[in-house]
Amino acid sequence: MSAGLPEPGPGTGPGDDVGWRRPSPRLLTARRIQAGLVIVPAALGGGVAAATAGSPGLGTAVGLALVAAGLAWERFLARRVAAWGYAERNEDLMVRRGVLIRRESVIPYGRMQFIDVTAGPVERSLGLATVRMHTAAAASDARIPGLDKAVAAQLRDQLAALGEAQAAGL
């Protein structure tokens, strides 16, 4: 191996088989609704504005172009939703996300300061919630969106218990 780091001792290494778990499939629905809530008014507004300023044909063209952009965005959404994953390992939580910029974060349970579960209106209507872990570092970013409400509550309790058991001082 090329890394200059020594090998961690026995019993402390990362779990070899990272069993990635995924958010609920309804997250894609939620993201589609959220995208639609932006695109549809934008297409209508843009179309009407172009129609009043130019000709009705221009208005239709602008509206259709915006709808097409929304559909292209939708293709991207599916990949982004599929990229989310999290794994509960023995000592830490791993979260991965991103398509264009891929990120993987490792947050030791002992470093979690608090955990919050939030749900926006769209998420709530689909029975979903977002779990977010906070450490003392502002740069740590660990959130898992689109978890089933029951899974989110269970994950929160589990993480809280693990965090308490392994808590470490600053």
Partner 1 sequence: MTTPPPCGPPPSHPPSPGDGDIASWHRLHPLSPVIRAGRQTLTIGTALVALLVLNQHQAGTDLVIDLIIAGLALAGGVVSWLVTRWQVADGALRIETGLVRRQSLRFPLSQVQAIDVVQTGLARVLGLAEIRLRMAARDSSDGRLACLPLAEARQLRERLLAMTRAPGSPAPGAGEAGAAARPGAAAAAAGSAAGLAWPGYASREPERLLFRVRPARLAAGIALSRTGAVAATVIAAMAAVAALTGQPGAVAPFLPLGFGIVLAVWRQFNGEFGTNVAAAADGLRLRSGLVQTTAETIRPGRVQAVRLVQPLVWRAFGWCRLEVDVAGPRQRRENEAEGHRLRALIPVGSLAEAEQMLGELLTGRPLPRRRAPARARWKAPLSYHFLGWDGDDRYVVASRGRVSRTTTWVPLEKLQSVRWVQGPVQRRLGLASVRVDVAGKRVTGGIEDRDAAEARDILGRLPGLARQARIRAAH
- The Cβ of residue 123 has, within 10 Å, a number of other Cβ atoms equal to 23
Binding mask 37-66 for partner 1 (x = CB under 8 A): ------------------------------
**In angstroms, rounded to a whole number, what is the distance separating the alpha carbons of residues 135 and 128?**
23
Task: Please tell me the number of Cα atoms within 13 Å of 74 on its side-chain side.
Answer: 17
CB-nearer residue toward partner 1: 158 or 166: 166
* Site for partner 1, residues 93 to 112, rule: CB under 8 A: 100-108, 110-111
| CA angle in degrees (0–180, nearest 5) for 84-20-81 | 15
Segment near partner 1 (CB under 8 A); pick from 2-10, 64-72, 77-85, 117-125: 2-10
* Site for partner 1, residues 13 to 42, rule: CB under 8 A: 13-14
CB 83 within 8 A of CB 99: yes
CB 101 within 8 A of CB 82: no
**In angstroms, rounded to a whole number, what is the distance separating the alpha carbons of residues 47 and 128?**
34
* Two tokens, residue 49: 């504005």
Residue 31 Cβ vs partner 1, minimum distance, rounded to whole Å: 21
If binding is defined by CB under 8 A, does position 85 make contact with partner 1? no
If binding is defined by CB under 8 A, does position 88 make contact with partner 1? no
* Site for partner 1, residues 151 to 170, rule: CB under 8 A: 168-170
If binding is defined by CB under 8 A, does position 135 make contact with partner 1? yes
| Residues in contact with partner 1 by the rule CB under 8 A | 1-9, 12-14, 91-92, 100-108, 110-111, 135-142, 168-170
